[in-house]
Amino acid sequence: ARHKKPVGIYWLQAASVAAGEAVVGPSARTSIAFYRVPSLLAAIGSVLLTYWIALPFVSRRSAALAGLMMATCVLLGVEARLAKTDAVLLFTVLASVGALARAYLTPPAARRPDLGLAAIFWTGLAAGILVKGPIAPLFVGLAILTLVIIERSGAFMRVLKPLLGLLWCALLCLPWFVAIYYVTNGAFYEHAVGVDMLGKVAEGAEGHWGPPGTYLLAMWGTFWPAVALVAMAVPFAWKHRGERGVRFLLAWVVPGWLAFEIAATKLPHYVLPLYPGLAILAALAMERGSLQGISRRLTDFSLVWPVLGAILMVALGAGLIWLGGNWVYGVMALPFLALSMILLVSACAGFRHRSADRSFLVVACGAVLLYAGVYQFLMPQMKGVWISERLAAIAQASGCPAGNIATVPYQEPSLAFLVGTDVRFTDP
């Protein structure tokens, strides 16, 4: 049994497959695409929730820009295409953070228990727990704890009806967690908590160790292209750290970021739920005009747009050749990549002479074209990357039935979709 994650993502994927079976028939059960649908919908929902969260901080236009930063985020684009938990976790965390932001930003004299906000906050938290255990409460709890310490008061939590909310959250979560304990005789907690979670804190699990600062460095690629605006907004955040809005955003981002930088295991998607806070902070800085007339040293961050775009294009082009892809698809991708580079260079070159928001709109168009070329033409043709397909071809050529196939140490579940669910994933 796979005792790594709670049941939430499996329920969502099962519902997606059931809907697929109603449309295309039994073949939906063995089609990986239907298992990816929850991630895609959650990613879209997360972009919309970023807009919703931003509304108390900025105008609708700037909130839309914050959503656009998430929509063009490299990491979210990747997670939207994978049948795993992280896009769904992001959606649940953002639902809770959006309610928390409104509770905190409500003037003290106007604070009244709000059943609607409380329902969103606690339901989002419960959903996050069912998807990835304590990770959602970690993000939200660190933000609350930081705000309570800064304010020396937790009065803002009254808006979210904490006693009733905790009962509601427990009602949604506890039945499954009690049931899984009895069904597995405690094995789920032994592996999910003792090995999968605590093991990643103490040491670099599965070879994914990294020193503190890894996420800060990785963000230049994973949060491209918005990362340039985030870097430019750092002086604004420091200068206005006493404002309630900026204080909330920093309380959301900084403690969680530090916690994951300290943990031994480093995977890029671990800090994804913090990216919307950075996007809103950058949008707030843009709206205040703090990204105009800044020093040349800060505007040079806009070089990240064409430079990283070019690096990605060259790397994928080389990968297409090196990994046995069809060069014809590289030629088909060229118009997308060329136009993308023109837009990225134009946005960088004109950043000092046009508003930051207009520059980012140009960058976003360039990013969309780049992603179209990459996802549609380049990556599908890199045959060397798709190990499961190669293993499945070998198994099929050998005529060996799935029940007699074991894979060591390759453990990717995608192999089961290609050779059958009887394949055995074993340890060396």
Residues with Cβ within 8 Å of 136's Cβ and at least 6 positions away in sequence, in order, are 89, 92, 93, 96, 124, 125, 127, 128, 129
CB neighbour class for 214 (10 Å; exposed up to 12, middle 13-18, buried from 19): middle
CA distance 249 to 366: 28
Exposed e or buried b per residue across 154-171, where buried means at least 16 C-beta atoms within 10 angstroms of its C-beta: eebbebbbbeebeebbee
Contact 280, 53 (CB under 8 A): yes
Phi-psi region of 133 (alpha: psi -120 to 50; beta: other; left: phi over 0): left
Residue 140 has phi, psi (to 5 degrees) of: -70, -40
DSSP 195: I
pTM of the entire predicted model: 0.93
Beta bridge partners, 406, equal: 424
Q: How far from 138 is each of 97, 105, 157, 274, CA to CA, in Å? A: 12, 21, 17, 12
Residue 34 has phi, psi (to 5 degrees) of: -70, -25
Q: How far from 255 is each of 181, 240, 394, 404, CA to CA, in Å? A: 32, 18, 48, 49
Q: What is the pLDDT of residue 416?
A: 85
From first to last of its 428 residues, what are the pLDDT tens digits of the chain?
A: 566 789 999 999 999 999 999 999 998 998 999 999 999 999 999 999 999 999 999 999 999 999 999 999 999 999 999 999 999 999 999 999 999 999 999 999 889 999 999 999 999 999 999 999 999 999 999 999 999 999 999 999 999 999 999 999 999 999 999 999 999 888 888 777 766 666 556 554 555 678 899 999 999 999 999 999 999 999 999 999 999 999 999 999 999 999 999 998 899 999 999 999 999 999 999 999 998 877 778 888 999 999 999 998 888 888 777 776 677 777 888 899 999 999 999 999 888 778 889 999 999 999 999 999 999 988 888 877 788 888 888 888 888 876 778 888 888 888 888 888 788 887 76
Q: What is the pLDDT of residue 323?
A: 72
Task: Name the strand (E) or helix (H) holding 238.
Answer: helix 227-239
Contact 74, 312 (CB under 8 A): no
Look-up of token digits 């993000």: 139
- Bond prior to 225 in cis (omega within 30° of 0): yes
CA distance 363 to 253: 24
Task: Name the strand (E) or helix (H) holding 424.
Answer: strand 424-425
- Joined together, the tokens standing for residue 159 give 């808006």
Would you tell me how many other CB atoms lie within 10 Å of the CB of residue 395?
Answer: 20
Residues with Cβ within 8 Å of 16's Cβ and at least 6 positions away in sequence, in order, are 34, 35, 37, 38
CA distance 173 to 390: 40
- Joined together, the tokens standing for residue 133 give 């255990």
